[in-house]
Amino acid sequence: MNSGREVVKIDTDVLVIGGGLAGCMAAIKASEYGVKVTIAEKANTLSSGCAGTGIDHAWAYIPLIHEQMGWTIDDLIEDHTQLIARGFINKDLLRLVAKENYDRMLDLEKFGIKIRYEDSKIPGKFRIVHQFHSLPSSFNFNGRDLKVKLTLEAKKRGVNIVNRVMMVALTVSDGRISGALGIGTNNGKLYAFRSKTIVMSTGRANRMTPNVTGIWGNHRIPVNETGDGRSMAFRAGIPVINMEFLSSGYYSIGNYELNLGSPRNTVQPAAAVTGPDGEVIVPRTRFYDWDNLGKEKADPTITRQKMLSGNRNPRPSYEQLYQKGEGPFYLDLTSGTEEEIKYIEWSIGNEGKGSLFLDYLKNQEGFDFHKDKLEWLPNSREMAGTAASGLLVNNELETEVKGLFGAGDDVGGFPWAGAPGAFVMGWRAGERAAKEARQQKNFLPADNEQVESLKKSCSDISGNRGGIHWREVEMAAQTVVDHYAGDTRAEKTLKRGIERLNDIRKNAAFRAESPHELMRCLEVQSIIDNAEMVLNASLERQESRRAPFGFIRADFPEQDDARWLAFLALKRCEGSIKFSRIPIKQ
């Protein structure tokens, strides 16, 4: 069987693994330095990543507006640190993104994305909405086709895009990256890349827990993002941080991750949430005064305090209300004006799975915003953007391995980096990777032993007629994560969870009847690696750290900043996991 798997050898100066927002930005920037750049993408860069079918907002420090209001970059950093991350953030990375995302938004405009609106009366003709910070800081933009535009830009610049390859292994030689290995998802070929530098940008880890509807794939973030980057790093003994923060965010309303003007989201105006008799649970938000934004002064200390006091006194969650026998709850925009409804439809159509959702809602369900209400149901929890987990990088996005950089959601230590993080980190990592590749004269030799080992493990799966279907293994791993790394964790149950996961790994003799199924098996291996990291890191962190991380240890119920205001790094070392604590600079 081993000799049957064809090997495709590709040499490239810079290899970008994962062509989402961060990966595309990295490749586009790297192409400016006269080096050969290749993206290896599991699906197709036209549609892959969290923003694969659209994104309509991204926060930034916008000098044209914020300087006028007396709000500085330091204020944005303080807002993000205090309001979002509660002090648990890599402030240097945050500063990088805060300083540069405005320029990246202007780059996106050059690539064909509409970020200015004729009806806007504020400087720059932007639409700026409220999101995370105490002042409106998030661009609204027509991002439905952003991935198409980024792909075209990358191709125009000569970037080589290799779609339908799932990367599974990094090759490292004497502490320097030498390449990476992957499997063709529809041809089963082994792709052996030799590269001088690598940008790792595979995104988040999903499919870690079962979901509410039971429909496979019905998670908030694209489900082919299975934490492959973290998994590759883990396998190669490269540090990953904060994996314990599998946060319990209950998103969406039981169907698509839609953006139907959910209150306190980035949609303004938003629907109200109302109860069964029309009583208002969460009031509507109205249009921001787009005419005046940027013209008036604001006192950041006061606006921040106001939001902080809101954080300290949150309204009861829907879960808590259900437990009191309340509900059902509805998203209610029936009092919306034509202009507001038009805006909401625009917003839904440009974000996430909203474009299809809006079409389904109107044309298959006949939903009428003027009179109908949409029931608000909780959906699955996920290892979310709140989580701050991912590769350990320094201020220049370098990992411990020379020539390996991280970008976007693959980088740890930055809660809610989101799209701004992807744009800026991708750009910077691409620049750094290209400059470093330029200084490297030769490729390091290929790691033939690792190629043979991957060939064998894949052939074991492909030839294993009596093996287990990937989905069965996935469900087993998800059940373990759900139960043992659930809303409340404790030492003894976590230890049991680790034992059970090890059993699953030992007994998971996969079978694959096609290259496509082989990809799914490899994805489930990523999920198991991620689950192993989640369980072990949860056991190591002996404190609780609530919002936004949702990390609760029953046996250590208090937040312990003296010991644990620190990133928890883990790496595999001679068969066991080694931990280290990295104190967070305040």
Q: Which residues bind other proteins (CB under 8 A)?
A: 43-44, 46-48, 52-53, 144, 148, 164, 185-186, 213-218, 222-224, 253-256, 328, 330, 334, 353, 355-357, 359-361, 364-365, 367-368, 370-375, 377, 516, 519-520
Choice between 173 and 355, CB closer to other proteins = 355
Half-sphere exposure of 341 (CA within 13 A, CB side): 14
Provide the 3-class DSSP secondary structure of residue 427. Answer: helix
CB of 330 to other proteins, least distance (A): 6
Beta-strand pair 566-573/240-241: antiparallel
HEC-encoded secondary structure of 15-39 = EEECCCHHHHHHHHHHHHHCCCEEE
Query: What is the rounded CA–CA span in Å between residue 502 and residue 556?
Result: 25
CB of 452 to other proteins, least distance (A): 27
CA-to-CA separations, 422 to 13, 25, 411, in angstroms, rounded: 22, 8, 9
How many CB atoms are located within 10 Å of the residue 311 CB?
Answer: 13
Instruction: Give the Cα-Cα-Cα angle 229, 233, 234 (nearest 5 degrees).
Output: 115
Closest distance of CB 557 from other proteins, Å: 36
Q: How far is the CB of 52 from other proteins (least distance, A)?
A: 6
574 contacts: CB under 8 Å, gap ≥ 6: none
Nearer to other proteins by Cβ, of 43 and 190: the residue is 43
Q: 210 or 237, CB closer to other proteins? A: 210
Kindly list the distances between the CA atom of residue 21 and the CA atoms of 76, 242, 391, 485, in Å, as whole numbers in the listed order. 23, 22, 17, 30
Q: What's the burial of 358, exposed, middle or buried (CB within 10 Å: 0-12/13-18/19+)?
A: buried
Q: Which is nearer to other proteins, 216 or 287 (CB)?
A: 216
How far is residue 570's CA from residue 244's CA, in Å, rounded to a whole number?
Answer: 10
Q: Is there a contact between 98 and 76 (Cβ–Cβ < 8 Å)?
A: yes
State which residue, 225 or 398, has the beta carbon closest to other proteins: 225
**Least separation, in Å, of the C-beta of 269 and other proteins?**
18
Check if the beta carbon of residue 495 is closer than 8 Å to that of residue 501: no
CB of 215 to other proteins, least distance (A): 5
What one-letter code names the amino acid at 331? L
Backbone dihedral angles phi then psi of residue 74, each to the nearest 5 degrees: -60, -35
Q: Is 138 helix (H, G, I), strand (E, B) or coil?
A: strand
Q: Considering beta carbons, is residue 129 or 166 the nearer one to other proteins?
A: 166
User: To the nearest whole angstrom, how small is the minimum distance from the Cβ of residue 564 to other proteins?
Assistant: 36
Q: Which is nearer to other proteins, 11 or 145 (CB)?
A: 145
- Please choose, from the candidates 204, 259, 58, 260, the residue with its C-alpha nearest in 3D space to the C-alpha of residue 143: 58
Q: How far is CA 85 from CA 241, 250, 266, 424, 548, in A?
A: 15, 18, 18, 19, 7
For residue 513, the minimal CB distance to other proteins (Å) is 11
DSSP H helices, 508-582, are: 515-540, 561-564
Shortest gap between Cβ of 229 and other proteins (angstroms)?
Answer: 17
Question: By C-beta, is 48 or 478 nearer to other proteins?
Answer: 48
Q: Of 90 and 252, which CB lies nearer to other proteins in the complex structure?
A: 252
Alpha-carbon dihedral angle through residues 488, 481, 225, 59, given to the nearest 10 degrees: 0
Which of 134/163 has CB closer to other proteins?
Answer: 163
Q: Which is nearer to other proteins, 289 or 359 (CB)?
A: 359
Q: Using CA atoms, how far apart are residues 21 and 418, in angstroms rounded to an integer?
A: 10
Cis peptide before 210 (omega within 30 of 0): no
CB of 509 to other proteins, least distance (A): 21
CB of 332 to other proteins, least distance (A): 9
**Length in residues, the chain:** 586
* C-beta of 7 vs 356, nearer to other proteins: 356
276 or 310, CB closer to other proteins? Answer: 276
Closest approach of other proteins to the CB of residue 469, in Å: 11
The nearest distance, CB 43 to other proteins, in angstroms, is 5
